[in-house]
Structure formats: structure tokens, C-alpha cells
């Protein structure tokens, strides 16, 4: 039994007061901005979260001072250095160091200032490269990582352990969620360093605009991935904050995956690109399959709402609109 009298599977009912002060760390990023929109939709009136130009979460003193001045009651830790397979594989030192510093600073400050509820966002890449699919939360630390994202994975696992340690040592009802590959409005569309879905949107769009007869995507196209719209992740985050209190992380996904080749067909369709598609097998494939077992989340009464075809069409519309208005991040 814990603070909220949770059932053995962590189920609780602990609605958040809509006037409580919520700090969304990483509130300008893909996940954090979706969480922010969700909180506004749900009637939260005191959501805070400075941009990185105002508060660099890697700077410990600045983070502690900011917490002392702002005193949030609830924290959603969605801030991280993130990127696609090439960014992770070529900048492991930054991925390890930045993510460790961001997490330790925010979690320590939250601890020092008695934050009552905290949700830490990890990633599905924390799980072993070769493990039973769909991946259950229990697979954590049972095998070796995919080498293209081991630095990021180790940092995120340290975050999960810090949350568990705080629960154990101080009895605070903090929790962790592990989202699968995310996409949606506000994503990073960098041609080299973004994740596959925004990369494909950009590549197919540019090929359509220039009349290019073919596009070349990375790898073999055979790896399987699962994609969750950021708005669905945000819904899950609030649901977990109000319905879950236990040590173990909770996977957040759709429970369905597809090959990168199938994903490319969906994106080409959404963009209206009619040329041919080739695959550059000199580029890395990464892990062969990454599908989350979402039964823990389903048992807590949550399911995603946005289908992949619909989500890609909406994200493509967002991309075009922001490309034209010059407000894309890359």
C-alpha cells in the first residue's frame, strides 16, 4: 500500500487539481508541447515551462534556483536531447552527458522542493536489442542494447532508477513512462538527424516539389517500428499521473507495428509522391523490431485514438503550413 492506496498493479484514483502548478520540462519539444496542449485542454490553469534559452536544464544551479522561485507541485519531465538513428550513433557523448545532466538536475531539484507528483519520460530504446516481442516492461536490463542508441538508453535507464530510488528512499509517488517512437506536429524535420517519420515526410515532399523521379531511404526498409502520435502520448501521461502509482515503468504505444517500407508507402501516399523508392543498405537499420507490449497501460483503462494514416496526414499538413510560414525548427 502506498500514498494513494494503490492496487497491486499500481492502479489508483488520484485526480489532479486543475489549479495545481505543473512544470512541463521540455515544453517546446514534440512530447512536451503535446503534454502542454493536453493540460490546457483538460482545464489546467497554471502550466509553466521556460524555453531552453531562458533555462538551460543542463545547468544545475540555474535549475535549482528556478525551482526555488517557481515551486511547481507537479513535474512532467519530457526534456531530453533526442534524435534519429544517425544523431544517436554519431553524437553518443552529447546524448549521454546532456540527458544525464538534464534528468539529475530536474529530479534533484524536484526532490529538494518536495514535488508531489512527477512523471519521467523514457523511451522504448531502453530495452535489449534482441528480446521477446512485443516487449514487456520486465525485459528491462535483460540483454545488450542496440549499439546505435546505447548512450541514450543508459541515460534514460538512469532516470528510471532515480525515480525508483526516490520512491524507495522518500516515499514519493513518482512514476515513469516509456513511449514508443513518437511523431506529430512540432517534430524535428532535420534531413539527417531527425527520426524516420519526419525525415520521410520531408524527403517525399521535397521530391514531389522538385519532380525527382526517385527517393532513396536509409537501410533495408525491413525493420519494424511502432509509431505513436504525440497527442496520444500526452493523453497517456495525464492518465498515468491520475491513475498509476507503482515502481515499474509503463510502456506507452499502440500495440501495432509495421515495416519501414510500409511506413514509406503511407508517407508517399499522404504527400502525393508518385516516383520510385530505393533503399540504401549502407545506412544502418538499427534494431530489427521494437514493438511494445502495452497491456499494463491498457489494464489502467487507456488506449490511443489517432490512427497512423490520419496522424501522418495531419503531421504533413502541419509541416507544409510551417514550412511556408518559415516556423520550422530545421
**Cβ 245 to ligand GDP shortest distance, Å:** 30
Q: Which is nearer to ligand GDP, 185 or 223 (CB)?
A: 223
Among the listed residues 223, 235, 255, 304, the single contact to ligand GDP using CB under 6 A: 223
According to the binding rule CB under 6 A, does residue 199 interact with ligand GDP? yes
Q: Which is nearer to ligand GDP, 4 or 279 (CB)?
A: 279
Kind of pairing between the strands at 21-25 and 74-77:
parallel
Among the listed residues 285, 289, 313, 318, the single contact to ligand GDP using CB under 6 A: 285
**Nearest to residue 12, comparing CAs of 20, 3, 25?**
3
CB atoms within 10 A of CB 163: 24
Place of cell 540504401: 280
| 27-66: contacts with ligand GDP (CB under 6 A) | none
The footprint of ligand GDP on this chain (CB under 6 A) covers a number of residues equal to 18
Q: Is-contact 150 92, C-beta < 8 A?
A: yes
H helices of 91-216, in order, are: 92-112, 150-170, 196-210
Q: Which is nearer to ligand GDP, 195 or 243 (CB)?
A: 195
Phi, psi of 289 (to 5 degrees): -155, 145
CB atoms within 10 A of CB 43: 8
Q: What distance in Å separates the CA atoms of residue 240 and residue 14, rounded to the nearest whole number?
A: 10
Element (H, E) at 77: strand 74-77
Give the range of 130-138, 277-285, 294-302, 317-325 binding ligand GDP by CB under 6 A. Answer: 277-285
Phi, psi of 273 (to 5 degrees): -90, 130
| 107-126: contacts with ligand GDP (CB under 6 A) | 125
The residue nearest ligand GDP at its CB is 84
Q: What distance in Å separates the CA atoms of residue 13 and residue 5, rounded to the nearest whole number?
A: 9
Give the range of 8-16, 57-65, 101-109, 284-292 binding ligand GDP by CB under 6 A. Answer: 284-292
Secondary structure class of 178 (helix, strand, coil): strand
Among the listed residues 219, 255, 304, 311, the single contact to ligand GDP using CB under 6 A: 219
Give the range of 42-50, 214-222, 235-243, 265-273 binding ligand GDP by CB under 6 A. Answer: 214-222
**Cβ 204 to ligand GDP shortest distance, Å:** 10
Q: Which is nearer to ligand GDP, 110 or 260 (CB)?
A: 260
Active site residue 152: yes
Q: Which is nearer to ligand GDP, 174 or 319 (CB)?
A: 319
Q: Which is nearer to ligand GDP, 283 or 314 (CB)?
A: 283
Secondary structure class of 319 (helix, strand, coil): helix
**Cβ 199 to ligand GDP shortest distance, Å:** 3
User: For residue 226, what are the contacts with CB-CB under 8 A and spacing of at least 6?
Assistant: 124, 180, 181, 253, 254, 255, 256, 257, 290, 291, 292
Element (H, E) at 296: helix 295-299
According to the binding rule CB under 6 A, does residue 260 interact with ligand GDP? yes
Active site members: 152
Contact residues toward ligand GDP (CB under 6 A) are 84-85, 125, 149, 181, 195-196, 199, 217-219, 223, 225, 260, 283-286
Amino acid at each position: 500500500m502506498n500514498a494513494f492506496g494503490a492496487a497491486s498493479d499500481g492502479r489508483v484514483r488520484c485526480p489532479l487539481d486543475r489549479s495545481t502548478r505543473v512544470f512541463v520540462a521540455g515544453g517546446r519539444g514534440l512530447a512536451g508541447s503535446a503534454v502542454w496542449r493536453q493540460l490546457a485542454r483538460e482545464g489546467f490553469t497554471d502550466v509553466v515551462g521556460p524555453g531552453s534559452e531562458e533555462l538551460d536544464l543542463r545547468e544545475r544551479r540555474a535549475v535549482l534556483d528556478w525551482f526555488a522561485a517557481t515551486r511547481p507541485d507537479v513535474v512532467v519531465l519530457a526534456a531530453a536531447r533526442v534524435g534519429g538513428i544517425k544523431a544517436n550513433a554519431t553524437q553518443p557523448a552529447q546524448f549521454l552527458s546532456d540527458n544525464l545532466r538534464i534528468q539529475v538536475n530536474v529530479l534533484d531539484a524536484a526532490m529538494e522542493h518536495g514535488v508531489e507528483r512527477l512523471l519521467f519520460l523514457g523511451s522504448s530504446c531502453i530495452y535489449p536489442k534482441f528480446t521477446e516481442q512485443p516487449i514487456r516492461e520486465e525485459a528491462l536490463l535483460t540483454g545488450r542494447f542496440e549499439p546505435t542508441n546505447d548512450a541514450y538508453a543508459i541515460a534514460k535507464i538512469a532516470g528510471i532508477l532515480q525515480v525508483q530510488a526516490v520512491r524507495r528512499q522518500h516515499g514519493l509517488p513518482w512514476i515513469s513512462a516509456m513511449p514508443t517512437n513518437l511523431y506529430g506536429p512540432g517534430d524535428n524535420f532535420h534531413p539527417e538527424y531527425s527520426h524516420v517519420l519526419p525525415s520521410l515526410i520531408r524527403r517525399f515532399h521535397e521530391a514531389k516539389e522538385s519532380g525527382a523521379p526517385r527517393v532513396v531511404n536509409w537501410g533495408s526498409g525491413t525493420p519494424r517500428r511502432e509509431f505513436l502520435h504525440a497527442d496520444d502520448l500526452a493523453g497517456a501521461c495525464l492518465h498515468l499521473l491520475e491513475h498509476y502509482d507503482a515502481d515499474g515503468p509503463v510502456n506507452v504505444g499502440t500495440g501495432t507495428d509495421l515495416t519501414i517500407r510500409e511506413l514509406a508507402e503511407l508517407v508517399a501516399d499522404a504527400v502525393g509522391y508518385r516516383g520510385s523508392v530505393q533503399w540504401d543498405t549502407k545506412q544502418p537499420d538499427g534494431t530489427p523490431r521494437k514493438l511494445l507490449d502495452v497491456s499494463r497501460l491498457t489494464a489502467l483503462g487507456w488506449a490511443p485514438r489517432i490512427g497512423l494514416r490520419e496522424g501522418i496526414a495531419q503531421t504533413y499538413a502541419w509541416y507544409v503550413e510551417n514550412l511556408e510560414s518559415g516556423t520550422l525548427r530545421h
